[in-house]
Amino acid sequence: MRKIYLIPAVVGLFTSIAAGPLAAQGAVPKQKAAQAPRAAAAGAPAAAGTPVAAGTSAAEAPGAEEKSKAIDGFRSAKFGMSEADVRAAMAKDFNAKPDAIKAQDNAAELTRSILLSVPELLPNGGTAELSYVFGYKSKSLIQVGAVWSKATDAAITPEKLFSNANILRAHFMGEGFKPDSIAVNMPVAGGIVMFRGSDAKDRSVILLLQGTFENKENNQRLLTPTSLLLFYVADAKSPDIFKLPPGQF
């Protein structure tokens, strides 16, 4: 079973995006840092090899509305739920059978996740893998992630990943997140944060398009996506994961 460790990527992305687009390089684990990649423009065509253009900061992001957006989980699964309650929510949302839900433990963070493969989580978007993460101390839901890639759907293409990313970004731009929390098209090592936004309680949504950059003429960098990751995070700054107490080593 493919291992998914979501928390470190989210923490790194949250802190690095706040520092600015160029500081975001190196935020994604197990990715080789691209030399000053720039993000795809908001209207970029959904195709592999699309040239990347300048990113947009929170102050520049269009479409931030006055209405308040609350992030309390994903569909029927709410932050703070027990594993049993989340499994019931998955059955309600996706008609998931018990044997279709897989579990895995993170030995470094001492968290636990349950995974489910969901066809057409996004209409016409291919099969995604959902991951529900339970905290080290609370044992309750602290994060929900969705991944689209060749590992989740052998038929998925770079064009489909671009299309999914553009559809989701457009959706989140109209959802009313805190204007000063919104970031779009921000470069990170090995990809682009297509969207990041937080609600009044600093619960966050992060949409990350990962891939490989290729140098072209006139210093253009072309991104070919390999995966699309979507995170709903209860506390991206201080997640409920195991950390060694200060002074032990």
Query: Three-state SS string across 193-237, please?
Result: EEEEEECCCCCEEEEEEEEEEEECHHHCEEEEEEEEEEEEECCCC
pLDDT value at 101 more than 90 = yes
Q: What is the mean pLDDT of residues 67-83?
A: 93
Q: Give the C-alpha separation, 32 to 25, whole Å.
A: 9
> Which structure tokens are listed for 19?
């520092």
Per-residue confidence band for 187, with pLDDT thresholds at 50, 70 and 90: confident
Percent of the chain with pLDDT over 70: 73
Would you give the end-to-end CA distance of the chain in angstroms? 34
Q: Give the C-alpha separation, 217 to 31, whole Å.
A: 24
CB 78, CB 211: distance < 8 Å? no
The model's pLDDT over 136-147, given as tens digits with 9 standing for 90+, comes to 999 999 999 999
62-66, 79-83, 140-144 — which is least confidently predicted? 62-66
How long, in residues, is the chain?
Answer: 249
Q: What's the pLDDT at 25? A: 27
Q: Give the C-alpha separation, 86 to 116, whole Å.
A: 12
Alpha helices, DSSP H only, in 95-157? none
pLDDT value at 184 more than 60 = yes
This model's pTM is above 0.85: no
10 Å CB burial of residue 244 (0-12, 13-18, 19+) is: exposed
Q: Which residue, among 81, 23, 14, 65, has the nearest Cα to 233 in the 3D structure?
A: 14
The model's pLDDT over 21-39, given as tens digits with 9 standing for 90+, comes to 222 222 222 222 222 223 3
Q: Mean pLDDT of all residues in the chain?
A: 80
Q: What's the pLDDT at 220? A: 79
Q: Give the C-alpha separation, 90 to 236, whole Å.
A: 23
Per-residue confidence band for 226, with pLDDT thresholds at 50, 70 and 90: very high
User: Which secondary structure element, helix H or strand E, spans residue 160, and what is its range?
Assistant: helix 158-173
User: Residue 243 contacts by C-beta under 8 Å, 6 or more apart in sequence?
Assistant: none
Q: What is the mean pLDDT of residues 242-248?
A: 93
| R_g of the chain, CA atoms, integer Å | 18
Q: What's the pLDDT at 213? A: 86
Q: What is the mean pLDDT of residues 189-216?
A: 94
